[in-house]
Amino acid sequence: MQLFKKIVLYFISKFGPKEQRVKLLFEHHFFANRYYLHKSANKQNLARILNISNIELDELTTKNFQIGFDALIEMYRFQHFWDEFTNPVNAHLPIQSIISICGFSSNQEFNNLIAGHKEQSKMILKKAFV
């Protein structure tokens, strides 16, 4: 099954329509390589990597994930933060360390994300501690 999947991906990447190729590349870089965890992760850098425009990148994320690129990065960074924060292995790490490994360039950037998504943050906390 794994071999079959790799063969299909190879043919899509070489011979598929441009839209499918770009989506495949996006998923590889964003999800498999965890692009969202890089401190320098932004729309301009990923668009350059994928050889598309910023507008095309936003259209891709909106069409396939129903949210814009910046919101997608924030969502995955926060999910990664929550996974690391609730992982017992990290119990003795300072929260600044966890914030840093999740791609946030500063504590203020993390605070701004939380402040801008208070209701979603409350729901995540309630689910974890109920």
77 and 63 assigned to the same domain: no
Assess whether 101 and 63 both reside in one domain. Answer: no
Tell whether the model's pLDDT for residue 130 goes beyond 60: no
User: Of 43, 45, 49, 42, which Cα lies nearest the Cα of 105?
Assistant: 42
What does the alpha-carbon distance between residue 130 and residue 126 come to, in Å, rounded to a whole number? Answer: 6
Q: Please indicate, yes or no, whether residues 9 and 63 belong to a single structural domain of this protein.
A: yes
In terms of domains, do 98 and 58 share one? Answer: no
Quick one: what percent of the chain has pLDDT higher than 70?
94
Q: Which of 68, 86, 120 is the last residue of a domain?
A: 68
pLDDT of residue 118: 78
Q: How many CB atoms lie within 10 A of CB 25?
A: 17
pTM: 0.84
Mean pLDDT computed over 80-103: 94
Gap between the Cα atoms of 81 and 101, Å rounded = 8
The pLDDT score that the predictor gives to residue 46 is: 97
- Both 11 and 62 in one domain: the answer is yes
The stretch 37-51 carries a mean pLDDT of 96
Whether 11 and 32 map to the same domain: the answer is yes
Residues 42, 76 within the same domain: no
Tens digits of residue pLDDT in 66-82: 999 999 999 999 999 99
100 and 84 within one domain: yes
Number of domains making up the chain: 2
Long-range Cβ contacts of 80-83 (<8 Å, 24+ apart): 80/34, 80/36, 80/37, 81/110, 82/124, 82/128
Q: Which residue segment(s) compose the domain that 21 sits in?
A: 2-68
